[in-house]
Structure 1
Amino acid sequence: MEKDSGIRPGTEAMPAGYAAWLAALKAQIRAARLRASLSVNAELIGLYWRIGREILERQERLGWGAGVVGRLAADLRAAFPGTGGFSRANLLYMRAFAEAWPEAEVVQRVVGRLPWGQNIELLSKLKDPAERLWYAEAALEQGWSRPVLVHQIESRLHARQGQAVTNFDRALPPAQSDLARQILKDPYHFEFLGLGPAAQERALEQGLIARVRDVLLELGKGFAFCGSQHHLEVGGQDWYVDLLFYHRRLRCLIAVDLKTGPFQPEHAGKMNFYLAALDEMERQPGDNPSIGLILCRERNRVVVEYALRGLGSPIGVSQYRVMLPEALPGALAEALPSGEDIASRMDLPDGDLPEPGGEG
């Protein structure tokens, strides 16, 4: 019989290299679990697409009525009592899914890699195929969760992306100019700060720092927060950049100047000064030229274009919003479909709410 050494597991001295080996094993296990999860999700979405396509084909080619969906739901739930996802509402989503994405290649490459819950949001909230594909690809690329995807759709991110007024085409090489322009938005949405229209610049800055996670989400993938009131000493005088970021894809510093009023031409000159100082004092080997972003309450495009003309540093000017839009006018609100209207158009009975099919 083996004698007990008296040393409990985890208390004995570990051999050299054990910690690194353990870390590598943990990384392998996490990667394997992620691959398994993605594989299961892809199989599930592929199954839903095939079911939806067969329902669609039988209804269109053979003239089967809408009632077949309810019968199919009952039969599938009877055949697979412990398996969810086969309600009548979810089968209708499968049909809509197959109709929205008729090409198997797009399903495999993009939407098949998103959770079913995110696909439901894409179907429910977006009617234009190009917009739907834009958000699907963005969600996949940036790893959005389901709530983040909903937020980006409701804030009309696709219409804001790349809309800042810039001089990038003159101040940056073409490849970097295109990427930098795509990264900036107009307007930025900071409603999560809960600030009123009379908020001062310091309150805006403090709010953004306190909610830096939300700020980074609104800025987009690739931004890393470096600090606030970043100190620069130039000619024996002290200067401070409101917010400083580093962008991983652009490989450059991004200085942000906050303005609670409308854009003024002198704002561009001050930002040009900041960028010159950052490039001279803090730009690292391999970094690209620093970029400036002036965030203001409002801006006149023509004034901005004139102010940026002739400046050598790359600068963008965007507006921001700190308050939610006011309630819809009565006439417009009355023109929107009700929940009952939407349900009837989807052939859903009252109370038969679509299944989320899992969080995403």
Structure 2
Amino acid sequence: MYSNVHDVLAQARSSVTRAVNGAMVNAYWEIGRQINEAIGERAEYGKHLFSYLSKRLTDDFGKGFTQRNLRAMRQFYLTFPIRHTLRAELSWSHYRMLMRVDNERRRLWYMNEAADAGWSSRQLDRQIQTLYYDRLIATRGERNKEEVAAEIQSTQPVTAADSIVRDPYVLEFLNIPQSPKQLESTLEQALIDKLQDFLLELGRGFAFVGRQVRISDGTDNYYIDLVFYNYLMRRFVLVDLKTGKLTHQDVGQMDFYVRLYEEKYKPEGDNPPIGIILCSEKTAATARYSVLADKDNLFASQYMTYLPTEEELERTLRRERDAAESTELWSRMEDEE
């Protein structure tokens, strides 16, 4: 009985909180619009208006109406001038973070993804800091960047394997050092211990299936480090962990796992499984001369167990793009020959 009553009250409070958040976000947008119209081109008048409004509103409504917050409300309106594009699921804290994203396409993507995936404001902040959107685009191979950006903005379900893979993966939440001497079992256990954080980094639609999942070809048994299922794309995702530099043997092993899993374990109607090798280091040569270059369901992604600076991430993404372009150029030259 108690648990039923508890659930009713918890659900009601949650609904009230969402309704209040939505009402306040709309109110702040309207305040921002009215402030912006009142100021127009009169910058000097704006200084007096913010001071006046802050004092009067604080007297009448209490804290929360500092000049800084009122300026943020005006910026909110300027950043999101069309009210109906706002997502009611997001709080004012979410929008304060979104306003820090300069690029409109990135900003709208983060807004919609945060609403659809149910990110908290802390989770949204983490995804923005780790350039989640840019890492998603960077994995899309030879396709035009604008085409890819438009694709991930689309509300239509995407089934391409590379649409759920990013490079690098940022695993700062594990609190373990980035070291080639790290045992793979230690990395695996850390990911299991922080499974919710890892699922956030993986993206929408992932469910955990198991660790050290046994598969068999009828003669021998093999064990896959981690297996997930993406219910949005209806495909299994096999993850192999490598704490050292990626080798051709690692790629060949994952290729074997994916082929075997598809033949023996893929349910009818599902899309083919994909394999992701998470490694601490990889080279362009491995990507160029291994089956990674020819397979659209095999991926090798670097992982970072620390929160890199924006500059570090941008350098890594640039290096990955250059390597991908080099591999594509090499492939075209071979085709022409």
The reply to whether TM is greater than 0.5 is: yes
Helix, strand or coil at the partner of 2:279: strand
Residue among 16, 30, 47 paired with 1:66? 47
Question: Deviations for 1:32-75, whole angstroms, at most 9, x for unmatched residues?
Answer: 76555434322221111111111112112555231211211111
- In terms of fraction of residues, the more helix-rich structure is 2
Please report the TM-score for the alignment, with normalisation by the length of structure 1.
0.72
Higher RCO (CA < 8 A, seq sep 6+): 1
Is residue 45 of structure 1 aligned with residue 21 of structure 2? no
Offset of residue 268 of structure 1: 2.4
Is residue 286 of structure 1 aligned with residue 269 of structure 2? yes
CA distance in 2, matches of 1:166, 1:157: 17
Question: Deviations for 1:62-103, whole angstroms, at most 9, x for unmatched residues?
Answer: 55231211211111222335xx43232221111111111122
Correspondence for 1:116: 92
Q: How does 1:101-140 map to 2 (within 5 A)?
A: 101-107=80-86, 110=87, 112-123=88-99, 125-140=100-115
Helix, strand or coil at the partner of 1:65: helix
Runs of 5+ consecutive residues of structure 1 not aligned to the other structure: 1-9, 11-21, 169-173, 330-360
Q: How many residues align?
A: 298
Change (3 A) 1:328 1:215: closer
In the alignment, is the contact (CA less than 8 A) between 1:292 and 1:314 conserved in 2?
A: yes
CA distance in 2, matches of 1:328, 1:149: 19
Correspondence for 1:215: 198
Root-mean-square deviation over aligned CA pairs? 3.3
Is residue 87 of structure 1 aligned with residue 55 of structure 2? no
Please report the TM-score for the alignment, with normalisation by the length of structure 2.
0.77
Q: How does 1:331-342 map to 2 (within 5 A)?
A: none
Correspondence for 2:306: 323
Helix, strand or coil at the partner of 1:121: helix
Correspondence for 1:225: 208
Offset of residue 237 of structure 1: 1.6
Offset of residue 233 of structure 1: 2.2
Change (3 A) 1:150 1:326: closer
Amino acid at match of 2:82: E
Is residue 192 of structure 1 aligned with residue 168 of structure 2? no
Helix, strand or coil at the partner of 1:127: coil
Correspondence for 2:319: none
Correspondence for 1:158: 133
Q: How does 1:208-357 map to 2 (within 5 A)?
A: 208-301=191-284, 303-308=286-291, 314-325=297-308
Offset of residue 270 of structure 1: 1.4
Helix, strand or coil at the partner of 2:236: strand
Change (3 A) 1:166 1:209: farther
User: % of aligned pairs identical?
Assistant: 33
Runs of 5+ consecutive residues of structure 2 not aligned to the other structure: 144-150, 313-337
Offset of residue 182 of structure 1: 2.1
Amino acid at match of 2:85: V
CA distance in 2, matches of 1:315, 1:153: 27
Structure having the higher Rg? 1
Change (3 A) 1:241 1:162: farther
Offset of residue 223 of structure 1: 1.1
CA distance in 1, matches of 2:52, 2:108: 32
Helix, strand or coil at the partner of 1:161: helix
Amino acid at match of 1:46: N
